[in-house]
Chains A and B, each alone.
Chain A
Amino acid sequence: MNGPQLLEQYAGRLTTGAGAIFPGERAVFCGHDLHATLNDLDWLELYLFGITGRRYTPLQMKVLHAVCTFTSYPDARLWNNRVAALAGTVRSTGTLGIAAAYAVSEAQIYGWGAVLRASEFLCRTKMRVDAGEDIAELVSAELKHKRGISGYGRPIVSADERIAPLMAKVRELGFDGGPHLKLAFEVEKILLEGRWRLRMNYAALAAALCADLGMSPREYYFSSMPAFLAAMPPCYMEAAEKPEGLLFPLPCKVMLYEGVSRRKWRAAAQTQLL
């Protein structure tokens, strides 16, 4: 069945396993009564349950909380946070500012685009190494094919200050022996010893930890989304509390024009023919 017959089958109703509200009675979240059987979950646990369908142990949850906490930087210069802050300085709403900042966080050189690629690389490479392939050759091929490896290297600076404190926490919790984590550091060793001089960044470390907790790349992509959230409201709120327009005011002279020389538009008569 296809075409309009297929559409007709789906018209007018929602067939779902995600959940539903029964007004005045109850709510179902992914096959469970939200208020009866999931009421002991903290918010991140519930969020991850919605993505993976799995429950995590308290120690695993500490790792996952740390993954979010350790990258929460309320610095309004960061591109995604800057969107939230600019919304504040021009007196837009908090929801609009943060929603836009969130959307912008799906970038290619940082954020969720990079996160997904880092996880996909580690999971794919792990499978191939397990199948007997040489890790150095896989890294070299990836660099040749994609001209970089997501999760290694960083825009603006090379060092990543999040690695050491997160690793300390991970060691403390006993999660420093997973196979994806081991692979992530082996890849870094290869990249540092070669001519590339690329250090592991937070995306690869977090991706490896989550892969060791059983997350697929797509699950990790969704699971990582709350990571930037905590930092955005302070950026918006501070800008909104200051006098309007004082965040990054730009004088005309910051504009460096590199385009064509001044010229005159053609006569209006031609335009009027349109």
Chain B
Amino acid sequence: MTTEFIYSRIWQEEPEPDNAFAAATCHCHGYDVFGDLLVNASWIEYLFLLFRGEDPTIRQARLLEGLAMALANPGPRDAAVHAAMCGGVGGSTSASCLMAALAVGAGASGGAREVYLAMENWAGRGTDLATWRTELAAKPVSDPSDVWPMPGHPPGFDPHGVRCTGPVLKTLEHLVGVSDGPSLSWLQANRPTLEAAAGLPLAMSGVAAAALRDLGCTPEQGEMMHLFLRLPGAAVHALEQKDYGYKKFPFFSVELENDPATAHTGAEEKTGYRAEDKI
């Protein structure tokens, strides 16, 4: 007989009359999930409800849906999707493919941690352009006691970009059109100034951070949302590479900087091999 409890402000259940371990009804933030939401709400509205505790306005639902569309598939060149494909191509379990995508997509360079850090910046700077300009010009600070490595660039901007890319600009434009919040429109209006201060173009993570802020998310909620909203692309590309097989998946060549076989001769042997070579 258990005497321990799980506290929740989100979820409430009533048991079936003949089975204390099976729920007869489930309520989410007060709404009957299977008797009301399933029939009357959309997936994106339910998602908003889960995170924010209230039903979204039409424009909030459109904003979240637009963000979910923009993030759903970063494409096979993205590191998180690449990681998922490494699972798929070798026949790894489906869960491991998504775990790989989550672990790599968690990072502070293009991943969910970058969104978290960008949202923290929004919380501290608001729409104060002078503060943004000053702090974007400052170098990231290292915290050697943090498990997260030091960010290499201002969060929300593309560390290797030349100009703001088409997908980022189109996403920003669409989301500005459906957002009631102040962040996206301010970001669009001040993008050139912010990019000049950062010395880098705006990235999708920066648009996502502003959108999640306009949706009322905390940085922690934004980090979680960014993690799972990008999983669909990781999933399908992992499955696709499993189908193609390893002979059509890049293995890359290697240049070993400290090869003991060449250490004494000074020879520049740079041997690479492809996956079709037997391991």
A residues neighboring B (CB under 8 Å): 2-4, 6-7, 12-17, 19-24, 26, 28, 30-33, 37, 92-93, 95-96, 99-100, 103, 106, 112-113, 116-117, 120-121, 150, 217-218, 221, 249-268, 270-271, 273-274
Contact = CB atoms under 8 A, between A and B. Distances in A.
B176 to A, nearest CB: 18
Contacts of A23: 273, 277-279
> Most chain-A Cβ atoms within 10 A of its Cβ — which of B21, B39, B53, B260?
B260
Contact of A268 (B13, B31, B39): B39
B36 interface: yes
Contacts, number: 170
A257 B147 CA distance: 34
Interface in B222-249: none
B12 A257 contact: yes
A274 B260 contact: no
B47 to A, nearest CB: 12
B80 to A, nearest CB: 15
Nearest to A31: B258
Contacts of B250: 12
B2 A33 contact: no
A78 to B, nearest CB: 15
Given A4-B160, A103-B103, A116-B147, A253 B7 contact: no
Given A23-B277, A121-B145, A266 B6 contact: no
Kindly list the 6 A-B residue pairs having the minimum CB-CB distance in the complex, ordered from nearest. A31-B258, A257-B12, A120-B145, A252-B15, A259-B9, A251-B20
B8 A258 contact: yes
Contacts of A113: 147
Given A30-B258, A116-B147, A260-B29, 18 more contacts: A15-B254, A16-B257, A21-B279, A28-B256, A95-B93, A106-B147, A117-B145, A252-B13, A252-B15, A252-B23, A254-B6, A255-B13, A257-B8, A262-B27, A262-B30, A265-B31, A274-B61, A274-B65
User: Interface residue tally of chain B, by bracket?
Assistant: 35 or more
Contact of A116 (B42, B145, B272): B145
A271 B260 contact: no
Given A257-B11, A273-B58, A28 B260 contact: yes
A120 B31 CA distance: 47
Contact of B260 (A32, A251, A261, A268): A32
Contact of B21 (A14, A251, A260, A267): A251
B268 interface: no
Nearest to B99: A99
A35 to B, nearest CB: 11
B2 A264 contact: no
B261 to A, nearest CB: 7
A256 to B, nearest CB: 5
A14 B271 CA distance: 11
